[in-house]
Chain A
Amino acid sequence: MTNSESILYPPLHIRLYSVWYRHMRVYTKNLLSNGFPPFIEPLIFLAGVGLGLGKYITEPMGGVRYIEFLGTGLLVTTAMFTSAFECSFGTFIRLEFEKVYDGMLAAPMTVNNLIVGEMLWAGTKGFFFSFAVLCILSAFKIVILPYGLLAPFVGFLTGVMFASLSLLVTSFVKTINHFNFYFTGFISPMFFFSGVVFPVENLPDFIRPVTELVPLTHSVRLVRAVCTNMYEPILMYDLIYILGFIFVIGFIAVRRLEKRLVN
């Protein structure tokens, strides 16, 4: 028997949207407790280091006041953290403990749809928390509007970028404790050596190439340019790096998770 009538299963954008919608509904159910760390942590850091330590830093950093330098960097680190947690611990729990994906994959969607929808959701979180921190920074005149309004878009790209990386890491992880290597071994050092807290230009020569290789450096340069409205040619490279990273790493992550979810 062959069926000539074609079945009208939902088109691609609806499938991606429905995954996004699922994550949005589940996440916002506990928005206050879920959103507390990505919103408050950058502010604590800004207050502790920016106001406290920053008092002793009288030299401008990267051409701006230190509090501005640090504040703009924190706009993307919050996106990085929220996305990295979502697509590591969050993904792993949905994958292994709650078996949420098994149920979702019985509905008309492919693993590809599921993972890309998840990356878009992580990007949305990056956008949202960049925006939330931006509101505080602009209230204290640390970032001047309207230039800063582009920052959440950099937050979105940062979110998607770290989603693709974290999903790739998750595809290798067998027990949830393995994420410690990822966070303490990769994410934390990157926070300090990507130009968020101090400029990378003055780091020793042997570290410089490494800072250019890791993803956060490019987000930071981009967001700072956006906030200070100072654009340089190198930003094109940063943008291409981020987009290339998302496509290449995202592609491999989808492939690997496909093997894990459909056996």
Chain B
Amino acid sequence: MNTTVINVKNISKSFGKIRALRDLSFSVEAGSCFGFLGPNGAGKTTAMKIIYGKCTRDKNSTDHMDIFGYDPAKNELAIKYLSGVVQQEDNLDDELNVAQNLMIYSKFYNMPVKDAGERIEFLLDFFELSDKAKSKIRELSGGMKRRLVIARALLNSPKLLILDEPTTGLDPQVRHLIWDKIRQLQKQHTTVLLTTHYMEEAFQLCDRLLIMHKGRKIMEGKPADLLVQNIEQYVLEILDTDLIRAECRDISQGNIRIENAPGVMRYYCNDVNALKDFAACCMESGNYMIRQTNLEDVFLHATGRQLDDKQ
């Protein structure tokens, strides 16, 4: 049932002295959503670009790439033909209207005009853009442009959909609409590769998640498993560290782990009651929050809280 459609082993990429990818390996099953999570400059986009032939990987005899049976270094056209790509920029043709933008791309896939017309009508409806079919690109909101770019990637009914930060900069309504559409596509057995730095997006959409940092894979797994395996279940966050009683600072309480970031103290623990007790005895007032840990905690724990020079 679960066939592997993408198999990547030990690929690397350097831009001059910068090593954008180092021995990256992963595999993706048909119809699943595979996510790449990482800070800016981690190599997520480079990995995507190597898959659809916009980047070439470093020559290396031990590496291996199989994307639906094709190697991008040898068969870029075949891979591009069966994939839809949503890049970070909304690179639409401003001179043309919404439907014409899609029509131009249908020619790239050699779709017969009639089929293209029907497909465009369907996709505009799918993304709730039907009444904008004749609108100029300039008149569209950011969310509409984004939906149109995704619709464009779906013209040729791709087996593989590559989404490079599909919802960056969008409002929550549009984001949820796009998530919903991606889930619908997955039900129709479209394989999805997604990069994001929104933890919620990764959690909502991805069957498997690969966290990258500085061109390397640092962990991979199901989102829920990553949480369980890599971080305590609860965290106590104290934003105003001055409120912590002096005698409580830096005191390790049993199984509580302390993380001291500028301006914030975080106390991690699997036992929520231990955190409650700790907060009750250390804090003057109720100026703290106890919550479940999420992917962001895993992510920051794994990639560090400091910015590096690429961010």
Interface positions of B (Cβ within 8 A of A): 3-5, 7, 15, 52-56, 66, 68-70, 76-78, 80-85, 87, 89, 91-96, 100, 104-105, 107-110, 152-153
Contact = CB atoms under 8 A, between A and B. Distances in A.
A124 to B, nearest CB: 16
Nearest to A14: B110
Given A3-B70, A9-B78, A22-B104, A105 B96 contact: no
A18 B103 CA distance: 11
B7 to A, nearest CB: 7
Given A1-B66, A21-B107, A108-B108, A7 B81 contact: yes
A262 B110 CA distance: 23
A109 B54 contact: no
Given A1-B3, A29-B96, A106-B85, A21 B104 contact: yes
Given A2-B69, A107-B108, A261-B54, 14 more contacts: A1-B4, A7-B70, A8-B81, A9-B81, A10-B109, A21-B104, A102-B87, A102-B89, A103-B91, A105-B80, A106-B80, A106-B85, A106-B153, A108-B77
Contacts of A30: 95
A253 B7 CA distance: 35
Interface string A1-33: 111101111100011011001100110011000
Instruction: Give the 4 A-B CB pairs with smallest separation, nearest first.
Output: A3-B69, A107-B108, A106-B85, A10-B110
B80 A108 contact: yes
Contacts of A107: 80, 105, 108-109
Contacts of B152: 103
Contacts of B92: 103
Given A106-B52, A107-B105, A26 B96 contact: yes
A165 to B, nearest CB: 26
A22 B107 contact: yes
B108 A99 contact: no
A236 to B, nearest CB: 38
A108 B69 contact: no
B89 A99 contact: yes
Contacts of A18: 107-108, 110
Contacts of B15: 263
B54 A105 contact: yes
Contacts of A14: 110
Contacts of A110: 76-77
A134 B83 CA distance: 46
Contacts of B68: 3
Contacts of B81: 7-10, 108
Contacts of B104: 21-22, 25-26
A104 interface: yes
Nearest to B7: A1
Contacts of B110: 10, 14, 18
Contacts of A263: 15, 55-56
A107 B53 CA distance: 10
A141 B109 CA distance: 47
A109 B89 contact: no
A59 B105 CA distance: 56
A98 interface: yes
A214 interface: no
A243 interface: no
A21 B100 CA distance: 12
Contacts of B109: 10, 107-108
A104 B108 contact: yes
A176 B76 CA distance: 31
Nearest to B52: A106
A100 interface: yes
A262 B70 contact: no
Contact of A103 (B4, B87, B94): B87
Nearest to B66: A1
A30 B95 CA distance: 8
Contacts of B94: 98
A141 B56 CA distance: 57
A9 B109 CA distance: 7
A188 to B, nearest CB: 29
Nearest to B76: A110
21 contacts: A1-B4, A3-B69, A10-B81, A10-B109, A18-B108, A29-B95, A29-B96, A99-B89, A99-B91, A105-B53, A106-B84, A107-B105, A107-B108, A108-B78, A108-B80, A109-B80, A109-B108, A261-B54, A263-B15, A263-B55, A263-B56
A27 to B, nearest CB: 8
Most buried by A among B3, B70, B95: B95
Contacts of A106: 52, 54, 80, 83-85, 87, 153
Given A2-B69, A26-B96, A102-B54, A109 B91 contact: no
Interface string A26-45: 10011000000000000000
Nearest to A105: B54
Contacts of A9: 77-78, 80-81
Contacts of B96: 25-26, 29
A1 B71 CA distance: 11
B95 to A, nearest CB: 4
B28 to A, nearest CB: 12
B87 A109 contact: no
A26 B55 contact: no
